[in-house]
């Protein structure tokens, strides 16, 4: 039985071209980019080349890119780095109730340190209302942090509108673009954004590598101390092969962005059409915004079946999907994202996230719909 991987929002397979770039560096280049001898200089050239490519693709300067250990570190560096640097101006931060835990848990820690955090509500589609953002801003507000596209519902937030509002009020704006990178066009110079987080393993790059865009001239404190790497903003020897792989992955997803969008949309459409045929449109509900969504993520509830049961049956059938919720002590928790959307209990307890990516085919969507039909009919007969 061939397995079908539909959990690309969690992690993606490395693109063969990315693996090739990384293998060459891992087998031929081992110098430290901070060393002054020829081996170090060669490593430095590799680093600088990767930084130039990433910054060009993001529409920013090379000095505005800090390489990190992933999306979580990028988010943490943004929140803690800015809050500690600007605490003399205020100690109020605005975020949303549907953020990734890398933001929510960081905000909880900031609250323990004496900061005030406002968690904006979302509507039933997962969207923030710009009026709520405006009402939440005070004279003490120093930072707004909002996710570009949600990792569970796929809902895209009104980033440009929020950014313009933040600028008009003199408030810094951070965007977690981990899921959005490679799925929507991103230009740091065109967006009213001060900081933006990215992760390699969501775009067919290696795990353990990410980046944080920091607008030129922005003052922030580092989270790691030691060496002078990344212009003193992130100490530690750089992950040379990982960074080179990240830059290659960015090249690939950026060059093929429109084709990817169209292809993921076709996969989504095929899956939904297959479900209508196999189980009937009354047997499932699509959660999230009807038009403002990431094309590779779709969250669907099947009210006849509990999430755990569906996950287990799909896994047995060779199909890997996710609930989109955290696993704690062996039991699934209800998604904080879907709860914030105020979905009814029967939808909360039957939600599944399907996320598409490299290697997925239209035929796999057909098979997935057929398997779901078989599973649901089996339960009905019981």
- Residue 362 is given by DSSP the state H
Closest listed residue to residue 337, CA positions, set 327, 356, 323:
323
**297-301 and 351-355 as β-strands: parallel, antiparallel, unpaired?**
antiparallel
Using alpha carbons, list the distances in angstroms from residue 279 to 286, 311, 373, 375.
14, 17, 5, 10
| Helix extents (H) in 256-331 | 257-278, 307-316
Task: Give strand ranges (E) for 272-330.
Answer: 285-287, 297-301, 319-320, 327-328
Cite the active site residues.
Answer: 327
CA-CA distance, 84 to 25, in Å (whole number)? 37
Q: Which residues pair with 195 in a beta bridge?
A: 174, 214
Taking each helix axis from N to C end, the angle separating 38-58 and 240-255, rounded to the nearest 10 degrees, works out to 30
Q: Which residues pair with 297 in a beta bridge?
A: 355
Whole-number CA gyration radius for the chain:
21
CA-CA distance, 267 to 3, in Å (whole number)? 17
Q: Both tokens of residue 170?
A: 């003199």
């Amino acid at each position: 039985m061939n397995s079908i991987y539909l959990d690309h929002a969690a992690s993606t397979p490395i693109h063969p071209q990315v693996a090739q770039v990384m293998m060459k560096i891992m087998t031929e280049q081992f110098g430290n980019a901070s060393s002054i001898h020829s081996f170090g200089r060669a490593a430095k050239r590799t680093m600088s080349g990767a930084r130039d490519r990433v910054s060009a693709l993001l529409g920013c300067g090379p000095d505005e890119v800090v390489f990190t250990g992933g999306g979580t570190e990028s988010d943490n560096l943004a929140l803690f780095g800015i809050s500690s640097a600007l605490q003399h101006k205020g100690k109020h931060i605005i975020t949303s109730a549907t953020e990734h835990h890398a933001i929510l848990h960081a905000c909880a820690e900031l609250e323990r340190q004496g900061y005030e955090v406002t968690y904006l509500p979302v509507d039933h589609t997962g969207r923030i209302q710009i009026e709520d953002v405006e009402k939440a801003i005070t004279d003490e507000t120093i930072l707004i942090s909002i996710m570009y596209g949600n990792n569970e519902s796929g809902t895209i937030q009104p980033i440009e509108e929020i950014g313009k509002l933040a600028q008009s009020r003199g408030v810094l704006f951070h965007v977690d673009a981990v899921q959005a990178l490679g799925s929507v066009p991103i230009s740091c110079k065109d967006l009213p954004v001060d900081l933006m987080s990215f992760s390699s393993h969501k775009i067919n790059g290696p795990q353990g590598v990410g980046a944080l865009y920091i607008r030129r001239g922005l003052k922030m404190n580092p989270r790691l101390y030691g060496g002078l790497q990344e212009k003193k903003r992130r100490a530690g020897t750089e992950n040379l092969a990982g960074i080179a792989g990240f830059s290659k992955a960015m090249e690939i997803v950026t060059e093929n962005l429109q084709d990817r969008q169209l292809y993921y949309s076709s996969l989504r459409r095929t899956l939904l059409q297959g479900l209508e045929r196999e189980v009937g449109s009354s047997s499932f509900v699509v959660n999230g915004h009807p038009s403002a969504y990431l094309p590779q993520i779709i969250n669907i509830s099947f009210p006849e079946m509990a999430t755990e049961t569906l996950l287990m049956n799909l896994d047995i059938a060779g199909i890997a999907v996710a609930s989109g919720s955290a696993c704690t002590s062996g039991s699934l928790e209800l998604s904080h994202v879907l709860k914030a959307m105020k979905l009814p209990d029967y939808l909360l307890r039957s939600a599944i996230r399907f996320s598409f990516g490299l290697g997925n085919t239209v035929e796999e969507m057909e098979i997935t719909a057929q398997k779901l039909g078989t599973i649901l009919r089996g339960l009905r007969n019981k």
